[in-house]
Amino acid sequence: MLLHSTAKVIFETEILDANTGITVKRNVPKPNLLLDSGLDGIAERSWWTSFSNCVLGTGTTPTKRDSGSVTVSISSETATASANFFEAGDVGRLLKLDSGQEVYITAYTSETVVSVAGATDDTASEFTVWYVNESGHQNEVNRTSTLSTDTGDNASTWDGTTIEHKRTFIFGVEGSARTYREIGWSHTGAAGNNLLGRALIPGGGDSISAGQQYKVTVRLQVTLSPVSQTAVASVGSGGWDTAGTTILCGLNGAFRGFSSGGIFAVGDGSEIFEPHQVKSIYLSTSDDALPSAPSENQITISGSPFGMTPDTYVAGSREKIYRITLATTQANNTWKEVGIGQGNPLKRRWALRFDTPQTKDSDHTLELVFRQTWGRSLIN
């Protein structure tokens, strides 16, 4: 059983006159690079929490290098560029070809040759090297969790496939002139290498005078799949035939966010679709049909949901695995549905309706595994 989420961040900066509130300068919205260490943090905290602080710096370390007209081809896990481009520091960075393939650089041979373990062979393509292995700014100088109080500046929304969390940070009035050149986001107010993502501010940075303030609007967008009813093949291993139909459902209170109603629940512990949140699994004999679209949908079950135990998270995997093994004395019946549930009466949160009902008997144990994966949207 699998649920996947893909995230991206868009940010916009403004310089304000602190006395009048008038915008002196506004940059156009730009994308931000989600870092490997920041994505690893989603294994233990919500997306919403992960960008609760805005972090500024004065460094100039880029987040990527574009190849321009230089191309690269891949053969037998070796990437060969058409001209000098690579550097020793590229080891650990991500090579993304314009053809779409993404692969980590694992060893440096020369300015034209690097190793890319796990890559598939690929014809010549332009490319970008992304600095995903960074974890902080080159020179951090300021961070804040203070939010603008203007109407609409902070909100969480859901459009049926994508969650958008919008935060608008407001920094204190500057006492002297300074130039901010790098920007990022973090779950903590403590300075250090703990960023979810970072970017360079457009135009070489923003120069702020005494008496001005910096305002930053950040939109974190997380797209889930599958959301609508989706036919899936069996993934049973030496056991059940799990072919069937799956859907995300029962969204009330399922995510952490700003709104106290709707699908967002602030601090109430539900957050069931955040990867870090411990899951409960249910089995059902009910004929209650799956909803045609994500909605609140309750189902009657036999017995109680079973609490699942998370595996130890493997850094870099961006996969949280929850599992439970039911003993020979547990859940012996013929079941029509399995899913992730919550509450009393039980609410479906994610469901898989089997094409053919499956039987658990007293001669067998049954291991149930739920995998939640996540990643970034990366465009060269």
Torsion-angle region of residue 87: left (phi > 0), alpha (psi -120 to 50) or beta?
beta
Average pLDDT (323-348) is 89
Q: Read off the DSSP letter of residue 275.
A: T
Nearest-angstrom CA–CA distance, 317 and 309? 18
Q: Please report the pLDDT score of residue 271 as a whole number.
A: 77
Position 268 confidence tier, pLDDT thresholds 50, 70, 90:
very low
C-alpha torsion 117→119→124→125, nearest 10: -100
pLDDT of 300 above 80: no
pLDDT of the residue at 347: 75
What is the pLDDT at residue 266?
Answer: 54
pLDDT-based confidence at residue 189 (cuts at 50, 70, 90): very high
pLDDT band at 295 (very low <50, low <70, confident <90, very high): low
Per-residue pLDDT tens digits for 206-230: 999 999 999 999 999 999 888 888 9
* Tokens 């920007």 -> residue: 183
Q: Residues 92-107: pLDDT tens digits?
A: 999 999 999 999 999 9
Dihedral angle, C-alpha 328, 331, 335, 341, nearest 10 °:
-130
- Sorted by where each begins, the domain ranges of the chain are 64-130, 225-376
Q: What pLDDT sits at residue 263?
A: 62
Q: What is the pLDDT of residues 22-72, one digit of tens each?
A: 999 999 999 999 999 999 999 999 999 999 999 999 999 999 999 999 999
Angle at the Cα of 30 from the Cα atoms of 24 and 32, rounded to 5 degrees: 125
Would you say 164 and 29 are in contact if contact means Cβ atoms under 8 Å apart?
no
State pTM to two decimals.
Answer: 0.93
Per-residue pLDDT at 159: 84
Mean pLDDT of 321-327: 96
Task: Give pLDDT, residue 170.
Answer: 98
Q: pLDDT for 241-262, tens place per residue?
A: 999 999 888 676 667 788 655 5
With DSSP H G I counted as helix, E B as strand and the rest as coil, what are the percentages for the chain, rounded to 5? 5, 45, 50
Question: Which one is predicted more confidently, 50 or 293?
Answer: 50
Average pLDDT over residues 317-346: 91
Residue 177 reports pLDDT greater than 90: yes
Please write the tens of the pLDDT for every residue from 101-135: 999 999 999 999 999 999 999 999 999 999 999 99
Tokens representing residue 115 in the block:
């190793």
Mean per-residue pLDDT over the chain, rounded: 92
pLDDT for the residue 331: 95
What stretches of the chain show up as alpha helix (H) in DSSP? 36-40, 47-50
**Phi, psi (degrees; rounded to nearest 5) at 60:** -125, 10
- The residue whose two tokens read 């609409």 is 152
